[in-house]
Amino acid sequence: MNIIVPIKQVPNLTDELEINDEGTDLAHDMVQYVLNEFDEHALEEAVLIKESVGGTVTVIGVDTTGELDGILHLALAKGADKAMKITGDFMPGTPSHVQAQLIADAIRTLAPDIVLTGVQAADDRDGQIGPMLAAHLNLPYVGVVTGVSITDGQAIVHKEYAGGVMAEFIVALPMVVGVQAAHRPPRYAPVSKIRQIAKTARIEALAGVETAQAGSTVRRMFKPEAAGHAEMWDGTPDEIAEKIADLLAEKGLLKRTL
Amino acid sequence: MSNDIFVLAEHFKGQVADITYEMTGKARQLATALGGQTVGVLLGNDMATLAASIGADRVLYVNDPALTHFNPEAYGRVLHALIQKHNPRVMMIGSTSMGMDLAAALSITTGLPLIAYVTALDVEEGTLVATSQIYGGKIQAEAIPDGEACIISCLAGAFPAEAGRVETGQRAVETIPSPVPLDDLRVRFVQLIEPAGGDVDITQQAILVSIGRGISGAENVELAQELAEALGGAVSASRPVTDAGWLPKTRQVGKSGLTVKPKVYLALGISGAPEHLEGMRNSELIIAINTDPKAPIFDVAHYGATCDMLDLMPALTEAIKARQAA
């Protein structure tokens, strides 16, 4: 099974994000880039498929930061067999339309049996990569998927709807899957292993030619103003526990035990 | 190109989903400003009654057995053909589990721009301006499509559903067969799988102790259970907790989980991603505990504190028990 996992670098959302001076984009030089968490699930699902039916997992991304190698090393440590990066004059925050076109151009000749990518990324302002890849490659797509199993050249995928309801589809391979969550939590790669891989890994670099565009122009980027904010309590955990208990008691929400 | 605003009507188990009304309400406003009509697009089988309930100027109802259940490939083909034929000014699709399979692919196959995760949409001097909520809800981006026509994917809850439920205008339902063959689909719907029964129904609880990433490990879930027991409530969770398998999917609050509205929602170690807020923001009383003072959960909470939930839970269980015994 030839399994391809396209990945995206996204800003680390636990950091404070700043807007550039023009007010039209992030101040990208202030941003730390990490692997999109949904892509991490896609990679896990890919490795689980490989472990179940055999094959190779190739992880591929557009190097928008010059720092993609670190993320590819992480992916190799988590079970990918090969790593590829698309290089060129790309900027951090390269639109999904452009990344999808570059990745589609790169994987078209690789003849994948299945392509697994994250269902979305935090910076998908112009849409998600998965359905775009499927459209470029004329492959079927199912997204918001929480489990894939392969039998007889077909994929059985479970797509999540609201309220815990799932739809089961059978899809002829090759296909593209947008992974919401792997059916097991992504495995942990020890730092020692990532370091070891960083020393020996070969990353195949491909020159990418950008032909797509985002299709829209951001005229203003800003932080949302919260409509309200919680009244904040200070104190130790014990003091805060007392305040919460007092509030609930005051509202008549504590039942007395007999 | 017309100035018509097309809305993909979403339905599930024979019911029109709220996102449809949210979008038709907004579509009416855009259509008025641009001088076009609102057109509801319904894909289904034997759904004439449903078609008549959609509050748009016109409803295009594509009736085909292959459209009985949502199928991303069938929907994609039909919508592509309809967009090519009718050239709407705007094609509105929900940023939902179904819509997220369609919008970005249609953007490639039709060549129309897509602006995604849209929470605000207006017409300024004949130009469409769409605001996307990105980076986990931390940033808004206001954008203008290159060219006039575009696809917009709208976040659930962004626009009031009431506006779309209003029965105005003349509604003509045009029932048509699928404009493209649907007999060679590579994607085949098999079945709907309902969540395993027997678990607590979190939508029926008065008090929810809801845990997020801050719970750190399966071994700590017991602390939340003890607290929920003391309060006479149940434990619910945000997505990372159910993805990790620390609680069943039936306990998940938010976009891909359940929408809850308890009397008290204790959000412990939950940062408050937009997908989570969507499922709990209408709770009567929200108390949030998170170590990050800038966590978005504090924007919707009534009361909050920055401390470690693992320290707070046993302390709160004791404080509750002490009051109940008094």
A37-96 pLDDT, tens digit per residue, is 999 999 999 999 999 999 999 999 999 999 999 999 999 999 999 999 999 999 999 999
Give the percent of chain B with pLDDT over 70.
Answer: 98
Task: Choose from B71, B91, B95, B135 for mutation: most chain A CBs within 10 A.
Answer: B135
Average pLDDT over residues B259-282: 93
Task: Tell me the pLDDT tens digit for each residue of B191-250.
Answer: 999 887 677 899 999 999 999 999 999 999 999 999 999 999 999 999 999 988 899 888
Q: Name the A residues in 14-43 with CB < 8 Å from any B CB.
A: 14, 16-17, 19, 26, 41
pLDDT at B162 over 90: no
Confidence of residue B37 (pLDDT cuts 50, 70, 90): very high
Pairing of strands B90-94, A203-207: unpaired
Would the pLDDT of A257 be above 60? no
Inter-chain contacts counted by CB atoms under 8 A, chains A and B = 288
Percent of chain B with pLDDT over 90: 81
- pLDDT surpassing 50 at residue A157: yes
Burial (CB < 10 A; 0-12, 13-18, 19+), residue A121, is buried
> Which tens digits make up the pLDDT trace of B233-244?
999 999 999 988
Give the range among A202-211, B198-207, B260-269 with minimum mean pLDDT.
B198-207
128-157 of B, contacting A, C-beta below 8 A: 129-130, 132-147, 150, 153
Q: What share of chain B is helix, strand, coil (3-state, %, to 5)?
A: 35, 30, 35
ipTM attached to this prediction: 0.93
DSSP one-letter code for A152: T
Sequence-distant (6+) residues with CB within 8 A of B181 are none
What is residue A258's predicted lDDT score, i.e. its pLDDT? 46
Q: Which two tokens stand for residue A107?
A: 């994987």
| Terminal CA-CA length for chain A | 63
Q: Collect all residues of chain A within an 8 Å Cβ-Cβ radius of residue B73.
A: 140-141
Calculate mean pLDDT across residues B166-194: 88
- Verify whether the Cβ–Cβ distance B258 to A164 is below 8 Å: yes
Per-residue model confidence (pLDDT) at position B24: 95
Find the closest chain B residue to A104 by CA distance. Answer: B108
